[in-house]
Copies of this chain bind each other. A is one copy, B any other.
Amino acid sequence: MSDTESTHNHLTNPLLKGLGESDTLAINERSKALIAAGKKVYKFGLGQSPFPVPERVVEALRLHAPQKDYLPVKGLPILRETVAEFHRKKDGVSVQADGVLIGPGSKELVFLLQMVFRGDIIVVSPCWVSYIPQARILGKKISIIRSSYEHKWQLTPTLFREYLDKRIDKNRPALMILNYPGNPDGVSFHEDELREIAAIARKNDIFILSDEIYGQLNHKGNHLSISKYYPEGTIISSGLSKWCGAGGWRLGTFTFPKELYWLCDKMAIVASETYTSVSAPIQYAAIAAFKGGLKIEEYLWNVRKILFSIGNESAKMLQKSGIRVHDPVGGFYLFLDFSNFAEKLHEAGIESSKGLCSKLLDETGVAILHGSSFSRPRKEFSARMAYVDFDGARALAAAKAIPLSEPLPEGFNKKYCAKILEGVTQITRWVASFND
């Protein structure tokens, strides 16, 4: 805590005490400082899509630049209809425009949901960096179900049942947040797991916020939504940030079933007194994104091929070095478990995931984000690597020259994602050095 902060603590909301800038941003700042000092940094910390926004979506923004009216709080009606149609087509669920809420990023919508919903919030660890700080800001308690490497870092039906058995007030309303393909882990659920989790949630009256922001980045294009098996209790979260490469545009969507419209309505009331509505030109442009079509599907196809290729090669290299990591299924993250090196790390004076990442950055220039940011135990040697530090536009152009039905050729990663392979090699050499 800085001097300034302590001086003014009596003038600020006590719930904010100790909260700093997010760890994701912090590692970004530190990387920049190292770069400024002339050091080569592998920026595997911040999770931003390396790909450009599809050209036709950018064109739509240009076309609609003069749109200046305040749009309805829940969103532009035609965009809401397009998002509903998107989920109907892609996920096979029967949602309607009336159930779609457009927000300035799905993060803001998760915050509103936490503010509005009265009941327990349940998350699965490792989990995305913001769920828990949001709850803290709101003075809410969050229940954490801890997963592990053995469970592929995911919720399993068994873990879910064990949690519910131990729950003290079984009648308290509850909402569980699931995120798949996962940030920080890059893995996802099998159909039978989703069915079983859905059945348990239904039986126990647990609502689900299904954060599927990486859904369209399932590397094989076969994302499955739990909403299919538990439609009446599931809210689907999506947005432009990941699959459309438009994180900086700030547009997220929540899609509610009829049974949960009351929750959508309450969120809209808070929205009307806070952000009002999402930027009009951005909403018009988003129609082109969610509407899709051949060009967008080609873009997605190539994006997925690239992420599959570099993600899996990275995972293989790391596995060979003794780091425990699962083959990625979607998104652009790997969750690294250094527990095989625990003893050596302790000998080197490293006591936490934060210490590990700090030392790795100093000694190799590789920036990855420590596991404690994702609610893992402080002393567990885990960390998230985002395999996004390459020129996405260049890689995409190269991929486009290869027939869609063919895999990327040998050497593609080395040519277009060289920095990822280099950084991964740095990590493997670094852990090997502990065995010397």
Residues of A within 8 A of B (CB): 4-5, 7-8, 10-14, 16, 19-22, 25, 46, 48-49, 52-53, 58-59, 61-62, 65-71, 73, 104-105, 107-108, 111, 115-119, 130, 133-134, 137, 173, 245-251, 261-263, 265-266, 268-270, 272-282, 285
Contact = CB atoms under 8 A, between A and B. Distances in A.
29 contacts: A4-B262, A7-B262, A8-B263, A11-B173, A13-B115, A16-B266, A16-B269, A21-B73, A46-B70, A52-B68, A53-B68, A61-B62, A62-B65, A65-B65, A65-B285, A70-B247, A70-B248, A105-B276, A107-B275, A111-B273, A130-B273, A134-B273, A137-B273, A248-B277, A248-B281, A249-B281, A250-B276, A250-B279, A275-B275
A17 to B, nearest CB: 10
Nearest to A63: B62
A214 to B, nearest CB: 16
Contacts of A5: 262, 265
A373 to B, nearest CB: 13
Nearest to A53: B68
A374 to B, nearest CB: 15
Contacts of A59: 65
Nearest to A251: B279
A274 B134 contact: yes
A279 B282 contact: yes
Nearest to A173: B11
A120 B313 CA distance: 57
Nearest to A20: B269
Contact of A119 (B7, B11, B16, B68): B11
Nearest to A248: B280
B12 A263 contact: yes
Contacts of A280: 248-250
Given A11-B263, A12-B263, 17 more contacts: A8-B262, A8-B263, A11-B262, A12-B116, A13-B117, A25-B73, A52-B68, A53-B68, A59-B65, A61-B61, A65-B285, A68-B247, A68-B248, A69-B247, A70-B247, A111-B274, A251-B279
A69 B52 contact: no
Contacts of A46: 70
Oligomeric state, in number of copies?
Answer: 2
A271 to B, nearest CB: 10
Contacts of A116: 12-13, 16
A118 B248 contact: no
Contacts of A275: 104-105, 107-108, 250, 275
Contacts of A58: 65-66
Contact of A118 (B11, B22, B282): B11
Nearest to A4: B262
Contacts of A115: 13, 137
A65 B61 CA distance: 6
B62 A10 contact: no
Nearest to A65: B61
A133 B62 contact: no
Contacts of A111: 273-274
A171 to B, nearest CB: 11
A169 to B, nearest CB: 14
B133 A22 contact: no
Nearest to A46: B70
Given A104-B275, A133-B273, A276-B107, A68 B4 contact: no
A274 B108 contact: yes
Contacts of A277: 248, 250
Nearest to A119: B11
Given A52-B68, A275-B108, A117 B12 contact: yes
B249 A68 contact: yes
Contacts of A53: 66, 68
A119 B8 CA distance: 12
